[in-house]
Amino acid sequence: MSISDSTILSVQDVSISYLAHRGKVRAVSRVSFDLHQGESLALIGESGCGKSTLNLGIIRLLPKTGRIDQGKILYTTRDGRVVDVLGLSEREMREFRWAECAMVFQAALNSLNPVIRVRDMVYDTAQAHGRHDRVQIRKRMLELFRRVRLDPERVFNAYPHELSGGMRQRVLLALGVLLNPQVVILDEPTTAVDILTQRTILEVLRELRAAMGFSIIFISHDLSIAAEMADTVATMYAGEIVEIGPVEELFYRPRHAYTLGLLEAVPKLSVGAQELVSIPGSPPDLIEPPPGCKFHPRCPFVTERCRREPPPLVEEAPGHRVACFESARVLAHSQPVR
Amino acid sequence: MEATTSPQAVQSGWAAFWKATRRALTGYTARTLLQGLLTIWAVMTFTFVLIRQMPSNPVQIEAERIVREELVSYEEAYSRAASLFDFDPNQPIIEQYVEYLAKLIRLDFGQSITSAGTPVLDQILQYLPWTVFSVGLGLLISFTIGIFVGMAMAYWRGGILDNVVTALASILFGIPNYIIALLIILILGVQLKLFSVAEALGRVDPTIEPGFTPEYIGSVLSHAILPVVTYVSATVGGWILTMKSSTIATLGEEYVTVAQARGLSQWRVLTAYVGRNAMLPLVTRLAISIGFVVGGSVIIEDIYRYRGLGKFLTTAIVARDYTSMQGVFLVIAVSVVVANMLADVLYGALDPRVRVGKEQ
Ligand SMILES: Nc1ncnc2c1ncn2[C@@H]1O[C@H](COP(=O)(O)OP(=O)(O)OP(=O)(O)O)[C@@H](O)[C@H]1O
Ligand SMILES: [Mg+2]
């Protein structure tokens, strides 16, 4: 098992499917990426493209109908060992979760047990990982609550229903870093809150990351947030990563027609009145995806070849990989826009 | 390490319970108590009038019995019966009511009409423990089985256990308890001779000296088996199915997945996250069932000749023993009202979202 020195998490050729009544839903197809120490990776893409599924797969908490069909998820422990997450036993997996890789869920409002206090959830979490010193845990948690700008004492002793949505989101964020994980996955951490709370959460996240040095996988529908938070951005379409690269590269020199489409669909305040272009059509059926490039039915750059062959993901610029036969034309088209 | 449940959860559970209890006894108590008293009074008044509308009165019933047994004229029998009882059927109902109420305020349930000289309360206290014991035990067993089996079915839904038990529970759920009782006697007792029907009936072997002896306790327990089994069979299906659907709903909640993502042990997730939330809807039902423990056994006690409060009530009804009937109905009303208050307290202790009053 070989991965480069600074790589914390290496997802290699992972496919995940759900068994539905109609057939097999290929929610994630042959996804590969590396997450480096301290790196922040943003996953962008339309609703239903498999972002949450991919991340649930990483901590192996897919719903009963979901399964990981193939691939490897290599994780580098703090002492430098490389383990395949998919090969861990149930017990090892339990220890891996939260202590190594924490996940702040999409539905943060519903992420806390309504009948027990926040402090009991904190102690539960710590105890599950063999940390029994309550005084110590309490101290650390209060400190983290302070960092995420919550009233520590009040929140620590509160029941979830006594907290607002934004507060619960920050509780989860603070709880997420309680055990000092190396990877923190954030599934749309800011969609349910207003724009000011959103700013607070992003700031807090940046501070925590600077202080603790964890890596982030960040899912967002909001490209401006992705641009602000991420070092690397990956575009997902219909379960595949179709383009991945450094944030500047991807946003200023997109090479995949889908990424370009996403960017053109975003209003820009600085430019003033301008034409917004939405992507025509809708995402494909994941049970019977179209042949060739899955994006071809919606693609303005489509050629005969796109309909026949699936394009491979190739590195076209340093660290910038794209799965598009017509990437040169897309790139050329994207230049005048900026 | 968590396999023995974490102490803080237990502790906070108790703390919450006591807090809720204390609150129940202060804040909104006055209103609740008043409401309860009003309910009890209304039920009491209603039954008072209603039972006196039944055809015949105690004196007439006794007179008929005397006529049947001693072949005397009805008039003679009637006057003998009237002298036997300390009850005047010609007294206006409103007078009877005021008298009864005046006694009741001093917690005096009056004297039994047909066994003159015996206070109703004494009789109730003599029969009540048997009913509370047998039906209460049945409820406890039924509820416990329901919780565990229902949860297990939800965890392995679609499995063999789920399919078999769902079918079985649906069938049992549909059969009335007295049919089950009759089937048990006829099939298990008479046909298969698994037990002696004559010995199994009654609430204890009358030849054994009462006391804390192994024989007596053994006899009490063995005589409770039939009513308890019947009661459990008739109710367990409902508990199982409710718990199953409630658990399935809870398993789909995000906080359960998040708890797993936090690396919590299966056991801890099962108890504090799934179990506790899944049980919430059952708590109200449990409290209501507790309220009906006292009155919920009339036919079964009759079939099994199990002399509990239900049997006492049927006897009283047949003899039109107004005061005894009234006493039993009152006890039932009180226990239902108290159980409802208990439900509030219990629910508040389990679910912080519905707690009344202010925290801290
Ligand atoms: N339990 C399930 N059973 C069957 N199909 C599922 C299940 N969960 C998700 N899917 C399908 O898998 C695909 C990916 O879903 P996923 O939740 O990963 O999307 P997403 O990218 O996170 O979307 P969003 O941005 O809306 O959160 C979707 O097409 C969805 O319909
Ligand atoms: Mg999602």
The answer to whether B277 contacts A61, with C-beta atoms less than 8 Å apart, is: no
Query: Measured between CA atoms, how close is A230 to chain B, in angstroms?
Result: 24
Scan for tokens 């994980």, then name that residue: A181
CATH of the domain at B178: 1.10.3720.10
CA B322, B324, B327: angle at the middle one, nearest 5?
A: 105
pLDDT score of B3 more than 60: no
- Confidence at residue A266, expressed as pLDDT on a 0 to 100 scale: 76
Helix (H) / strand (E) containing B158:
none
Query: Measured between CA atoms, how close is A252 to chain B, in angstroms?
Result: 36
The residue type at B262: R
Confidence of residue B9 (pLDDT cuts 50, 70, 90): low
Contact present, B307 and B127 (Cβ < 8 Å) = yes
- Confidence at residue A137, expressed as pLDDT on a 0 to 100 scale: 95
Which ligand has an atom closest to residue A24 CA? 1
* Segment A94-110 mean pLDDT: 87
User: Order of strands, edge to edge, in the sheet holding A232-237?
Assistant: A101-104, A183-187, A215-219, A40-44, A232-237, A240-246, A320-322, A314-317
Which mutation among A16, A21, A22, A51 tests ligand 1's pocket best, with the greatest number of atoms within 8 A of CB? A51
- Confidence at residue A269, expressed as pLDDT on a 0 to 100 scale: 53
* DSSP conformation letters of A241-307: EEEEEEHHHHHHS--SHHHHHHHHTS--TTT-S----PPPS-PPPSSSPPSSSTTGGG-TT--HHHH
* DSSP conformation letters of B232-297: HHHHHHHHHHHHHHHHHHHHTSHHHHHHHHTT--HHHIIIIIIIHHHHHHHHHHHHHHHHTTTTTT
Let me know if residue B264 belongs to a domain: yes
Q: Measured between alpha carbons, how far is A326 from B245 in angstroms, rounded to an integer? A: 53
Scan for tokens 């996250």, then name that residue: B273
By C-alpha distance, which of A54, A194, A110 is closest to B257? Answer: A110
Scan for tokens 């006594």, then name that residue: A162
Domain ranges in chain A with CATH number 3.40.50.300: 7-230
For residue A56, the CA-to-ligand 2 centroid distance in Å is 10
- Confidence at residue A257, expressed as pLDDT on a 0 to 100 scale: 93
The helices-and-strands tally (H runs, E runs) of chain A is 12, 12
Q: Which of A64, A124, A135, A187 is the best residue to mutate to test the B interface, defined by the most B CB atoms within 10 Å of its own CB?
A: A124
Q: With an 8 Å Cβ cutoff, is B259 touching chain A?
A: yes
* Segment among A70-74, B112-116, B221-225, B240-244 with least mean pLDDT: B112-116
Chain A residues touching B351 at Cβ < 8 A:
114-115
- Confidence at residue B259, expressed as pLDDT on a 0 to 100 scale: 95
Percent of chain B with pLDDT over 70: 92
Comparing CB atoms, the residue among A114, A117, A130 nearest residue B12 is A117
* Segment A284-308 mean pLDDT: 92
Q: With an 8 Å Cβ cutoff, is B263 touching chain A?
A: yes
Q: Are residues B200 and B86 in the same domain?
A: no
Q: Measured between alpha carbons, how far is B197 from A234 in angstroms, rounded to an integer? A: 77
Confidence of residue B1 (pLDDT cuts 50, 70, 90): very low
Contact present, A128 and A94 (Cβ < 8 Å) = yes
| pLDDT tens digits, A266-283 | 766 555 555 667 788 888
Q: With an 8 Å Cβ cutoff, is B220 touching chain A?
A: no
pLDDT score of B97 more than 60: yes
- Confidence at residue B4, expressed as pLDDT on a 0 to 100 scale: 46
Q: Are residues B250 and B331 in the same domain?
A: yes
Let me know if residue B29 belongs to a domain: no
* Segment B140-162 mean pLDDT: 93
* Segment B216-229 mean pLDDT: 89
CA B60, B65, B68: angle at the middle one, nearest 5?
A: 125
Let me know if residue B167 belongs to a domain: yes
Number of Cβ pairs < 8 A linking chain A and chain B: 90
Q: Is A38 in the pocket of ligand 1 (CB under 6 A)?
A: no
- The alpha carbon dihedral of A45, A49, A52, A55 has a sign of negative
Confidence of residue A1 (pLDDT cuts 50, 70, 90): very low
- Confidence at residue B7, expressed as pLDDT on a 0 to 100 scale: 53
- Confidence at residue B352, expressed as pLDDT on a 0 to 100 scale: 85
CA A15, A20, A26: angle at the middle one, nearest 5?
A: 20
- Confidence at residue A275, expressed as pLDDT on a 0 to 100 scale: 63
Which ligand has an atom closest to residue A26 CA? 1
pLDDT score of A37 more than 50: yes
Confidence of residue B43 (pLDDT cuts 50, 70, 90): very high
Query: Measured between CA atoms, how close is B252 to chain A, in angstroms?
Result: 9
- Position with higher pLDDT, B282 vs B196: B282
* Segment among B101-105, B158-162, B177-181, B347-351 with least mean pLDDT: B347-351
pLDDT score of A61 more than 90: yes
Q: Which three-class secondary structure string do you get for B109-134?
A: CCECCCCCCCEHHHHHHHHHHHHHHH
The residue type at A269: L
Q: Measured between alpha carbons, how far is A159 from B189 in angstroms, rounded to an integer? A: 55
- Helix axis angle for B93-105 and B29-51, nearest 10°, is 140
Backbone torsions φ then ψ of A27, nearest 5 degrees: -75, -30
Enter the CATH code of domain A7-230. 3.40.50.300
Let me know if residue B34 belongs to a domain: no
- Confidence at residue A3, expressed as pLDDT on a 0 to 100 scale: 59
- Confidence at residue A7, expressed as pLDDT on a 0 to 100 scale: 92
Q: Measured between alpha carbons, how far is B330 from B43 in angstroms, rounded to an integer? A: 8
Q: Is A125 in the pocket of ligand 1 (CB under 6 A)?
A: no
Contact present, B219 and B205 (Cβ < 8 Å) = yes
Q: Strand A40-44 to strand A215-219: parallel, antiparallel, or no bridges (unpaired)? A: parallel
What is the domain count for chain B? 2
pLDDT score of B25 more than 80: no
By C-alpha distance, which of B259, B266, B6 is closest to A91? Answer: B266
**Structure pTM?**
0.82
Confidence of residue B77 (pLDDT cuts 50, 70, 90): confident
Domain with B175 in it? 121-359
Q: Give CA torsion, residues B338, B339, B341, B347, to 10 deg.
A: 160
> What letter does residue A85 receive in the DSSP assignment?
G
* Segment A72-77 mean pLDDT: 94
- Confidence at residue B358, expressed as pLDDT on a 0 to 100 scale: 43
Q: Is A20 in the pocket of ligand 1 (CB under 6 A)?
A: yes
By C-alpha distance, which of B250, B232, B252, B229 is closest to B240? Answer: B232
| pLDDT tens digits, B304-359 | 888 889 889 988 998 889 999 999 999 999 998 988 888 888 888 888 887 755 44
By C-alpha distance, which of A198, A194, A193, A255 is closest to A226? Answer: A198
Sorted by sequence, the CB contacts under 8 Å of residue B312 that are 6+ apart come out as B123, B124, B127, B324, B328
What residues are paired with A315 via a beta bridge? Answer: A321
- Confidence at residue A298, expressed as pLDDT on a 0 to 100 scale: 92
By C-alpha distance, which of A327, A238, A236, A330 is closest to A281? Answer: A238
The domain boundary, picked from B90, B110, B145, lies at B90
Q: Are residues B85 and B136 in the same domain?
A: no
Scan for tokens 């924490």, then name that residue: A102
* Segment B260-286 mean pLDDT: 92
| pLDDT tens digits, B54-75 | 888 888 888 888 888 888 888 8
Q: Are residues B230 and B325 in the same domain?
A: yes
User: Order of strands, edge to edge, in the sheet holding A7-19?
Assistant: A24-36, A7-19, A66-76, A82-84
pLDDT score of A150 more than 80: yes
Scan for tokens 């206006």, then name that residue: B92
